[in-house]
Chains A and B, each alone.
Chain A
Amino acid sequence: MTLVELKDIRKSFSMGREEVEILHGISLSVEKGEFVAMMGPSGSGKSTTMNILGCLDKPTSGTYFLNGQNINDLESDELAVIRNRTIGFVFQGFNLLQKTSALENVELPLLYAGMQKKERRERAKEALIQMGLEDRLYHEPTQLSGGQQQRVAIARGIVNRAPILMADEPTGNLDSKTSDEIMGLFKKINEKEGTTILLVTHEPDVAAYAKRIVHFKDGMITSDEPNRMVKSA
């Protein structure tokens, strides 16, 4: 089943008077259960593509089908619902709410899904335990290490049981040992839960965990191949 389908996606930004196109027709389709790494140097368009895939940004032209639904004509509030139900996010800078416990951070997507407090607590606790943070439930971000913070962020990404988890340079702020731990978690989520994972990175070591690697350069896809030597943690 095709979960994600981009057709000839173009994106331009206006720089002063000039329109600068930074995505020159991206077409990509991802099946359910895949683990795709999007690679490329900075400025190659991989992050912009990721933002469009994550319904955080809209393409200038082209079509985007997510879960069989055309995303192009949706209002920003409808996109919010999709981000809430269909997509989990993990960012490079963790993006946790400060002065807020790990538990409450993980509860956030459930809060906006309108779930009752008791059920939210249960589900958030479950996700944190899955990430091995059962003794860090009430810690605030500043009391956690980088790896722990990113695990909280992953817990937040999976807590809504969304079919897709998107990660933008999730190991960018971590040392290599912690990176391996985090990538192991992604792999586990992909294999055990069948969650589709889209990963943006510029590090081959990190991309090596994916089953499929897509290379970007200058706003275009230059290669799209299965990974023959999937790394395991």
Chain B
Amino acid sequence: MISMTEISRTAVRALRRNKTRSMLTALGIIIGVAAVIAAFAVGQGANKSIDEQIASFGSNFIMVFPDRSASSASGTVRYITYDDALAVEREVSGIEAVAPMINTSAQLVYGNTNWSTSVIGSTPAYSLVQDREVEYGRNINDSDVRQGAKIAVIGKTIADKMFFGEDPVGRSIRIKKVPFTIIGVFRTKGQNTMGQDQDDLVLVPLTAAQRRLVRWNTPGRISTIYVKGVSMNALQYIQNETEVLMRERHRIRPGEPDDFSVRNISQMLEARRKTTAIMSMLLGSIAVISLVVGGIGIMNIMLVSVTERTREIGIRMAVGAKSRDIRFQFLIEAVVLSMVGGTLGIILGVFAGHALASFTAAPPIFSAGSIILAFVFSALVGIGFGYYPAWKASLLDPIDALKYE
């Protein structure tokens, strides 16, 4: 009885005799497995970062902002106002905090350093809604908002880029040429899944932003309202109640479209998770197709190889190879091809995963499961597509095989 090790050795030697052909044959599997690995890793990485984002955002808040498409249809532009925010806080139950916000972008100047960033005008509730803490100095408080104080809390990035390690607290910077005194620096939050730096921002009192930075004509106009619920479960209720209240306040008759829109952050993230899942599925099915095509490539080359080596098969049979020995030899050649392809594919897939992930900003996750799966799948492709040529080889008649030119 000839051992598997001996048959494998024979198979490997045969493959090495035709290195170029073997590599090209394995290429289909390499690409297929690499695609499987990369697709899984990027998909899992994106999902994990969405989970993290939900966790870090505090997913239990909703946003209210004006819907321009609706208001332009009626000809009048209705903005969200500070009073809207107060009304929501007063009349909707289940709310933990309401932060009215003005978003604008502005040029910061300190000495001869310039920095362009986003400036947020809000109330102390902002820090509650966004889960932000002040690392040193202090946060803005209600009296700052009442007075419209020209003070600012800055993000870590601005502290680094404009003050180079100097303590920024107490310094004066110009925001749109208006001097503001820095009173604190936020603790760092890092990047979000879109790759945006969450530490590149300035918070000023809502009133200071209204009077000094945006100077909108509509009194009390703000950009957005962030509403944080007491729990995840309360969110749907809060969203419904807020919509009803806003329609009342904006005097929208039944049947007319809203001039505002209410968005739930977890719904938005859920939508993105779905997109990611669809992308993964697409990539995954391309990967499977490419593995099957790779398998057909193996079958094709093995059939050619069996024909080319008919005489070799005849010689082996004449000196005592059983049909089983011949079948195993060619089957193992196919399996070795596909498993070498699988191994190289895994390595390539890890690189490809990292390369792809640089576009999505979420680090890829390579699970042992997906690697084992890819490897097993490539071995199965080898067995599946290698069996027919091997079986054909084993059926050859020794005399015909020996006569083959």
Contacts and interface: CB of A to CB of B under 8 A. Distances in A.
Contact of B399 (A57, A109, A117): A57
Interface string A108-137: 110111100100000000000000000000
Contacts of A96: 315
Contacts of B319: 83-84, 89, 108-109, 112, 156
Given A56-B318, A85-B320, A111 B2 contact: yes
Nearest to B314: A95
Nearest to B311: A95
A96 B314 CA distance: 11
Given A112-B2, A114-B1, A91 B320 contact: no
Nearest to B317: A80
B6 A111 contact: yes
Contacts of A108: 315-316, 319
A77 B324 contact: yes
Contacts of A98: 312
A173 interface: no
Given A51-B399, A111-B2, A112-B2, A89 B318 contact: yes
B315 A113 contact: no
Contacts of A51: 399
A56 B1 CA distance: 20
A99 interface: yes
Interface string B304-341: 00000001101111111111110000000000000000
A144 interface: no
Nearest to A98: B312
Given A97-B315, A114-B2, A109 B320 contact: yes
Nearest to A100: B13
Nearest to B18: A99
Contact of A112 (B311, B314, B320, B402): B320
Nearest to B402: A95
B3 interface: yes
B318 A83 contact: yes
Nearest to B405: A93
Contact of B320 (A57, A80, A95): A80
Contacts of A60: none
Interface string A66-108: 0000000000110011011100010100011111000000001
B12 to A, nearest CB: 13
B398 interface: yes
B251 interface: no
A214 B322 CA distance: 32
Q: Which of B311, B312, B315, B318 has the most CB of A within 10 A?
A: B318
Contacts of A54: 318
Interface residues of A, number: 27
B390 to A, nearest CB: 16
Nearest to B6: A111
Nearest to A77: B322
A95 B2 CA distance: 22
A205 B144 CA distance: 121
A97 B318 CA distance: 12
A194 B19 CA distance: 45
A83 B320 contact: yes
B17 interface: yes
Q: Which of B314, B317, B319 has the most CB of A within 10 A?
A: B319
B323 A77 contact: yes
A184 B101 CA distance: 107
Interface in A143-188: 156, 160
B317 to A, nearest CB: 7
Given A76-B323, A77-B324, A112-B321, A97 B6 contact: no
A85 B319 CA distance: 9
Given A95-B315, A97-B312, A112-B316, A56 B321 contact: no
B313 to A, nearest CB: 11
A91 B404 CA distance: 13
A223 to B, nearest CB: 27
Nearest to A47: B399
Nearest to A78: B322
Interface string B283-316: 0000000000000000000000000000110111
Interface string A54-67: 10110000000000
B20 to A, nearest CB: 15
Interface in B112-158: none
A81 B320 contact: yes
A160 B312 CA distance: 19
Interface string B361-405: 000000000000000000000000000000000000011001000
A207 B315 CA distance: 25
Contacts of B312: 97-98
Contacts of B399: 51, 56-57
Contacts of A91: 402
Contacts of B317: 80, 83
Contacts of B325: 112
B2 A56 contact: no
Interface string B4-33: 001000100000010000000000000000
A156 B325 CA distance: 19
Contacts of B315: 95-97, 108
20 contacts: A56-B318, A56-B402, A76-B322, A76-B323, A77-B323, A77-B324, A83-B317, A83-B318, A83-B320, A95-B315, A99-B17, A108-B319, A109-B319, A111-B2, A111-B6, A111-B10, A112-B2, A112-B316, A112-B321, A112-B325
Interface of A: 51, 54, 56-57, 76-77, 80-81, 83-85, 89, 91, 95-99, 108-109, 111-114, 117, 156, 160
Given A109-B319, A117-B6, 4 more contacts: A57-B399, A83-B319, A108-B319, A114-B1
